[in-house]
Each structure stands twice: as C-alpha cells, then as structure tokens.
C-alpha cells in the first residue's frame, strides 16, 4: 500500500508531488513504481526520482533523469533513520530550468512526506 500526497509545490511551471510506501527489497520498490505509474499524472511526469534505505543498510536510488535527486532523498532517509520505505518525488517539468532550487524542492517534498508518514 502506498501513499500519495499529491502536488506539494509549484515553481516556474514545474510541479512537485511526493509519494511512497513500504519496500523491503528491489522487487517491492519496482512494484510500487509500477503501481504509481498506472496513474496518468505520474506516468506522464518528467521525473519520478526515488530512494530507499533497506534495514540491512543497503541504499538504492533512482534519478530518472534528474541527476542527484535520488541521493538527496537517500540522505534524508538516512538522517531520519527511515528504513524499508521508498519515497518517490515526482516532477512535471514546466519549461524553465530551476538550477539548485530543484534540490530544495525535493527536500521540501521528502520532509512533507516524512512529517505526514
């Protein structure tokens, strides 16, 4: 079972959403991503970046074209000590480059998810 918080913020046309759920292995991560992409809004998104820290300490991440975003998610999971839970930050590109702001937006989304998780 995964949780979608929907659009958390918009900046210069780009929209950011966050979702996630429990995942104890790569197969469960892939199943959650597949389920998420059944929703048209997520399937059409420019990037679905994600990170998960398994209880055995193994980190996994996916940037989906948004270089560095998976590592931002992973670092936040490590700081929180949240294991066996994948967090996905979805960005629909709005036509304008955001530079370093895009990483702050990923952090905002992950924080919103953790605070509501």
Could you read off the pLDDT tens digit of each residue along the chain, which spans 117 residues? 567 767 778 888 889 999 999 999 999 999 999 999 998 888 889 999 999 999 999 999 999 988 999 999 999 999 999 999 999 999 988 888 888 888 999 999 999 999 885
Residues 6+ apart with CB under 8 A from 88: 18, 19, 20, 32, 33, 36, 48, 49, 50
What is the reported pLDDT for 86? 97
What is the reported pLDDT for 1? 56
Quote the pTM value.
0.91
What is the reported pLDDT for 8? 76
What is the reported pLDDT for 3? 77
Helix axes 101-116, 69-80, angle to 10 degrees: 40
What is the reported pLDDT for 42? 86
Instruction: Kindly report, residue by residue over 75-97, the tens digit of the pLDDT.
Output: 999 999 999 999 999 998 888 88
What Cα–Cα distance (Å) separates residue 59 from each residue in 26, 31, 54, 104, 116? 10, 17, 6, 21, 22
What is the reported pLDDT for 81? 95
What is the reported pLDDT for 117? 55
């Amino acid at each position: 079972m995964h949780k979608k918080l929907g659009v958390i913020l918009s900046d210069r046309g780009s929209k950011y959403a966050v979702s996630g759920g429990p995942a104890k292995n790569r197969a469960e991560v892939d199943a959650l991503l597949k389920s998420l992409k059944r929703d048209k809004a997520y399937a059409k998104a420019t990037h679905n970046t994600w990170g998960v820290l398994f209880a055995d300490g193994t980190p996994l991440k996916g940037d989906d074209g948004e270089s560095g975003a998976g590592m931002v998610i992973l670092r936040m999971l490590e700081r929180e000590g949240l294991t066996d839970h994948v967090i996905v930050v979805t960005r629909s590109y709005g036509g304008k480059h955001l530079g370093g702001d895009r990483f702050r937006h990923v952090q905002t989304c992950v924080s919103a998810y953790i605070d509501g998780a």
